[in-house]
């Protein structure tokens, strides 16, 4: 049932959540679980099954070097079925709570860039409907080059761009990864 | 293996894609399929299984009325487990090729807003690593209010904001849906 227009300032209506009546995993694996929930909406509609994808959180970094160049990575992404230009980063392993340390490690492993200073930029959901996970985006400044040590299954090409070029790659659609494109716009705004 | 820094202008290296040796569906459903691929990277590393989530494409609309107010929707999202402030829209059904018509239909059903003019803003991937689908984002101007006819399982609250407020909701993290936040930044830039 639709509600009338409201101000965005109003607090969310907490009683609109779904009730989960039964739940089981269709599949569990290291990288991804698929969960099947039998749900009831707050107005009494049954939604069964509703599939949820459980994956770990990720940390990705919008890093710039001392010259202001942005550090991107290009790699094959099997969902997309094509190369994808993205922000370096990786999975937050179970139990890791120091997101800045995770981000610094993933930046170093994938690109070799280290040092500088880092701050949290945003924490976002790639798909609130299906995904349980969040992506933490960090902003790093004054990073310095060093040797990369990527995972053997990762074939990662480091791509350095100017700030203006990084923005242009988003505006033109050359960066197809929506959460990463969002972080670039958030991190490089005037 | 890491490659050295390259210009973003270089064409993607087409021989870096993975080869799929075998593939089967763990689950198929109306909304989502889970596919398991046995893959080989271009450098010869085996990745088996690699799980892919197949879902339909979506179309979402950044719409403004004649007064310049932005039309957002707030609804419960079960992956997030909370209410989520988003752009109205919905699934592109199989065989539908007129994305603008899909977007107009979903905007009308969810919010009641109709009319005006609409153009394509961007087509992005919510997760290039795992998701096969794309989200088409449209920009609509001068839409006019009317009766909403949401699906019985959808409890959708229409939220009207100023342009500045919509941007502020992204900057402050109040809009957690990363692809939708990206589309708002792309559509409302100066």
Report the C-alpha gap between B159 and B87 in whole angstroms.
Answer: 10
Report the C-alpha gap between A35 and B11 in whole angstroms.
Answer: 39
Instruction: Give me the pLDDT at residue A15, please.
Output: 66
ipTM confidence: 0.92
Nearest to A84 among B51, B128, B185 (CB): B128
Q: How far apart are the first and last CA of chain B?
A: 40
Instruction: Give me the pLDDT at residue B21, please.
Output: 95
pTM above 0.90, yes or no: yes
Instruction: Give me the pLDDT at residue A154, please.
Output: 79
| Chain B residue whose CA is closest to A53 | B79
Q: Give the residues of chain A that fall short of pLDDT 70.
A: 1-15
Mutate to test the interface with A, among B28, B128, B169 (most CBs of A within 10 A): B128
- A52: which chain B residues are within 8 Å (Cβ-Cβ)? 78-79
The one-digit pLDDT tens for each residue of chain B (190 residues) are: 344 455 454 444 456 899 999 999 999 998 899 999 999 998 899 999 999 999 999 999 999 999 999 999 999 999 999 999 999 999 999 889 999 999 999 999 999 999 999 999 999 999 999 999 999 999 999 999 998 887 877 789 999 999 999 999 999 999 999 999 999 999 999 7
Q: Inter-chain contact A158–B4, Cβ cutoff 8 Å?
A: yes
Instruction: Give me the pLDDT at residue B5, please.
Output: 52
């Amino acid at each position: 049932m639709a509600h009338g227009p409201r101000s965005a300032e109003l607090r969310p209506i907490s009683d609109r959540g779904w009730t989960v009546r039964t739940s089981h995993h269709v599949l569990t694996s290291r990288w991804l679980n698929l969960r099947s929930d039998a749900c009831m909406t707050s107005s009494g509609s049954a939604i069964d099954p509703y599939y949820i994808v459980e994956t770990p959180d990720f940390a990705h970094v919008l890093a710039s070097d001392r010259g202001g160049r942005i550090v991107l990575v290009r790699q094959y992404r099997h969902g997309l079925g094509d190369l994808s230009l993205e922000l370096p980063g990786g999975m937050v392993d179970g139990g890791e709570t120091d997101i800045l340390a995770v981000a610094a490690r993933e930046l170093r492993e994938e690109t070799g860039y280290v040092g500088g200073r880092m701050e949290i930029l945003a924490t976002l959901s790639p798909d609130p409907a299906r995904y349980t996970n969040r992506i933490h985006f960090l902003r790093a400044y004054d990073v310095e080059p060093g040797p990369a040590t990527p995972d053997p299954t990762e074939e990662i090409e480091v791509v350095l761009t100017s700030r203006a070029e990084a923005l242009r790659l988003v505006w033109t659609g050359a960066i197809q990864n929506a959460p990463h494109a969002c972080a670039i716009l958030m991190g490089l705004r005037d």
